[in-house]
Chains A and B, each alone.
Chain A
Amino acid sequence: MLSALILWPWLVALWLAGRAQDSHRLAVPAALFELLLALAVLFGADTPDSRALHLPLLGYLWYLQNSSLGATLAVTAAALLPFALLFAWRLEEFRGFTIAALVLVGALMGTFFSQNFLGFYLFYEIVALSGAWMILIGGDRDRAAALRFLLYTVGGSLLLLVAVLYLYLRSGNTNGIYTFSWTHLAAAAAPDPDLAWWLFLAMLAGLAVKLPLFPLHSWAGPAYGRAAPPASMLLSGAAVLAGAYGLIHWAIPLLPLGALHFAPYGILLGAIGTLYAAFLALDAPNLRRFAAWVSVSHMNLVAIGLFALQEQAVHGALFLLVAHAVLAAGLFGVIAILEARGLPGHWDALGGLFRQTPQLGAWMLFFFLTGMGLPGLANFPGEFLSLAGAFRVSPWPAAIAALGILLSVVVFLRAYERVMLGPLNPGIARGTGDLAGRELALLWALGLLCLWLGLDPQPLLGQFQGLLPVHSAVLFGGVAHGH
Chain B
Amino acid sequence: MAIEASLEPLILVGAATIIAFFFDLSRHLARWAPGFGALTAILTAAAVFHSRLTLGAGFYWDSSASVLGAYLGLATAAVLVFTAGHPLARRLPGALTGLSLTVLLGALCLVSSQTLLGLFVGLELQVLPFFALLAWPGSRRVALEAATKYALLAGLASALFGLGVATLFLGNGSLALIPPAGSLLTGFASHLGLLLLYAALAFELAVAPFHTWVADIYEGAPAPIVLLLGAVAKVGILGAWIDLASVSESWTTPLWVLAAISMVAGNLLALRSQRIRRLMGYSAVAHAGYFLAALGAGPLGIVAATVYALAYGLMHLASFLPLAVLPEDSHGIPWKVLRQRQPVLAGLLALALLSLAGMPPSIGFFAKLGVLVVAIHAGLWPLAVLLALMSALSFAYYLPAIWRADSSERSPVLHHASSWSYLGALGIVVLLLGWIGLPALLTVL
Q: Decide if A55 touches B377 in the complex (CB within 8 Å).
A: no
- What residues of A have a CB within 8 angstroms of the CB of B399 in the complex? 132, 147, 150
Chain-A contact segment, one of B78-86, B133-141, B285-293, B387-395: B387-395
Q: Smallest distance from the beta carbon of A393 to chain B beta carbons, Å?
A: 31
Complex: A125 Cα to B399 Cα, angstroms:
14
- What residues of B have a CB within 8 angstroms of the CB of A169 in the complex? 373, 376-377
Q: Smallest distance from the beta carbon of A172 to chain B beta carbons, Å?
A: 9
**Residue A143 interfacial (CB < 8 Å):** yes
- What residues of B have a CB within 8 angstroms of the CB of A159 in the complex? 385, 388-389
Q: Which of A122, A125, A143, A158 contacts B400 (CB 8 A)?
A: A143
Q: Decide if A166 touches B436 in the complex (CB within 8 Å).
A: no
Complex: A151 Cα to B376 Cα, angstroms:
23
Say whether, besides A150-B399, A165-B373, A121 and B439 are in contact (CB < 8 Å): no
Q: Convert A143-182 into 0s and 1s, putting 1 for each residue whose CB lies closer than 8 angstroms to a CB of B.
A: 1000100110011001101100110110000000000000
Q: Which of A53, A125, A154, A166 contacts B376 (CB 8 A)?
A: A166
Complex: A122 Cα to B393 Cα, angstroms:
18
Q: Decide if B376 touches A158 in the complex (CB within 8 Å).
A: no
Q: Which of A53, A57, A161 contacts B442 (CB 8 A)?
A: A57
Q: Decide if B388 touches A158 in the complex (CB within 8 Å).
A: yes
Complex: A57 Cα to B304 Cα, angstroms:
13
Q: Smallest distance from the beta carbon of A165 to chain B beta carbons, Å?
A: 5
Q: Decide if B359 touches A161 in the complex (CB within 8 Å).
A: no
**Residue B180 interfacial (CB < 8 Å):** no
How many chain-B residues does the 8 Å CB contact rule pick out? 24
**Residue B412 interfacial (CB < 8 Å):** no
- What residues of B have a CB within 8 angstroms of the CB of A277 in the complex? none
Q: Decide if A147 touches B400 in the complex (CB within 8 Å).
A: yes
**Residue A58 interfacial (CB < 8 Å):** yes
Say whether, besides A53-B436, A56-B442, A125-B359, A165 and B396 are in contact (CB < 8 Å): no
**Residue A238 interfacial (CB < 8 Å):** no
- What residues of B have a CB within 8 angstroms of the CB of A129 in the complex? 359
Which residues of chain B from 388 to 419 have any CB-CB distance to chain A below 8 Å in the complex?
Answer: 388-389, 391-393, 395-396, 399-400, 403
> Interface range on chain A: under 10, 10 to 19, 20 to 34, or 35 or more?
20 to 34
Q: Decide if B388 touches A162 in the complex (CB within 8 Å).
A: yes
Q: Decide if B372 touches A165 in the complex (CB within 8 Å).
A: yes
Q: Decide if B360 touches A125 in the complex (CB within 8 Å).
A: yes
Q: Smallest distance from the beta carbon of B19 to chain A beta carbons, Å?
A: 43
Which residues of chain A from 88 to 140 have any CB-CB distance to chain B below 8 Å in the complex?
Answer: 118, 121-122, 125-126, 129, 132, 136
**Residue B245 interfacial (CB < 8 Å):** no
Q: Closest B-chain residue to A168, C-beta based?
A: B373
Q: Decide if A155 touches B392 in the complex (CB within 8 Å).
A: yes
Complex: A476 Cα to B395 Cα, angstroms:
39
- What residues of B have a CB within 8 angstroms of the CB of A151 in the complex? 392-393, 395-396
- What residues of A have a CB within 8 angstroms of the CB of B327 in the complex? none
Complex: A144 Cα to B72 Cα, angstroms:
40
Q: Smallest distance from the beta carbon of A258 to chain B beta carbons, Å?
A: 16
Complex: A107 Cα to B7 Cα, angstroms:
50
**Residue B361 interfacial (CB < 8 Å):** yes
**Residue B443 interfacial (CB < 8 Å):** yes
Q: Smallest distance from the beta carbon of B379 to chain A beta carbons, Å?
A: 10
Complex: A53 Cα to B440 Cα, angstroms:
13
Q: Smallest distance from the beta carbon of A205 to chain B beta carbons, Å?
A: 10
Complex: A143 Cα to B400 Cα, angstroms:
8
Q: Decide if B439 touches A165 in the complex (CB within 8 Å).
A: no
Task: State the majority secondary structure of interface residues on A.
Answer: helix
Which residues of chain A from 52 to 82 have any CB-CB distance to chain B below 8 Å in the complex?
Answer: 53, 55-58
Q: Smallest distance from the beta carbon of B272 to chain A beta carbons, Å?
A: 15
- What residues of B have a CB within 8 angstroms of the CB of A122 in the complex? 360-361
Q: Which of A126, A143, A154 contacts B403 (CB 8 A)?
A: A143
Q: Smallest distance from the beta carbon of B350 to chain A beta carbons, Å?
A: 12
Q: Smallest distance from the beta carbon of A142 to chain B beta carbons, Å?
A: 12
Q: Closest B-chain residue to A148, C-beta based?
A: B396
Q: Which of B377, B392, B396, B436 contacts A158 (CB 8 A)?
A: B392
- What residues of B have a CB within 8 angstroms of the CB of A162 in the complex? 372, 376, 384-385, 388
Q: Decide if B439 touches A55 in the complex (CB within 8 Å).
A: yes
Q: Decide if A161 touches B388 in the complex (CB within 8 Å).
A: yes
Q: Smallest distance from the beta carbon of A467 to chain B beta carbons, Å?
A: 27
- What residues of A have a CB within 8 angstroms of the CB of B369 in the complex? 118, 161, 165
Complex: A57 Cα to B435 Cα, angstroms:
13
Q: Convert B13-56 into 0s and 1s, putting 1 for each residue whose CB lies closer than 8 angstroms to a CB of A.
A: 00000000000000000000000000000000000000000000
- What residues of B have a CB within 8 angstroms of the CB of A158 in the complex? 388-389, 391-392
Q: Smallest distance from the beta carbon of B425 to chain A beta carbons, Å?
A: 16
Q: Smallest distance from the beta carbon of B53 to chain A beta carbons, Å?
A: 20
- What residues of B have a CB within 8 angstroms of the CB of A166 in the complex? 376
Complex: A162 Cα to B389 Cα, angstroms:
10
Q: Smallest distance from the beta carbon of A256 to chain B beta carbons, Å?
A: 21
- What residues of B have a CB within 8 angstroms of the CB of A147 in the complex? 395-396, 399-400
- What residues of B have a CB within 8 angstroms of the CB of A136 in the complex? 403
- What residues of B have a CB within 8 angstroms of the CB of A126 in the complex? 360
Say whether, besides A136-B403, A150-B399, A165-B372, A155 and B389 are in contact (CB < 8 Å): yes
Q: Smallest distance from the beta carbon of A413 to chain B beta carbons, Å?
A: 40
- What residues of A have a CB within 8 angstroms of the CB of B442 in the complex? 56-57
Complex: A272 Cα to B356 Cα, angstroms:
38
Q: Convert B341-365 into 0s and 1s, putting 1 for each residue whose CB lies closer than 8 angstroms to a CB of A.
A: 0000000000000000001110000
Which residues of chain B from 310 to 364 have any CB-CB distance to chain A below 8 Å in the complex?
Answer: 359-361
Q: Closest B-chain residue to A166, C-beta based?
A: B376
Q: Smallest distance from the beta carbon of B210 to chain A beta carbons, Å?
A: 27
Q: Closest B-chain residue to A61, C-beta based?
A: B361
Complex: A397 Cα to B392 Cα, angstroms:
33
Complex: A129 Cα to B392 Cα, angstroms:
13
- In addition to A125-B360, A132-B399, 10 A-B residue pairs with Cβ atoms within 8 Å of each other are A122-B360, A125-B359, A150-B395, A155-B389, A158-B389, A161-B369, A161-B372, A162-B372, A162-B384, A165-B376
A-B contact pairs, 5 of them (CB 8 A): A53-B436, A57-B439, A122-B360, A162-B372, A165-B384
6 A-B pairs with least C-beta separation: A155-B392, A158-B388, A122-B360, A56-B439, A55-B439, A154-B392
Q: Which residues of B contact A (CB under 8 A)?
A: 359-361, 369, 372-373, 376-377, 384-385, 388-389, 391-393, 395-396, 399-400, 403, 436, 439, 442-443
Q: Which residues of A contact B (CB under 8 A)?
A: 53, 55-58, 118, 121-122, 125-126, 129, 132, 136, 143, 147, 150-151, 154-155, 158-159, 161-162, 165-166, 168-169
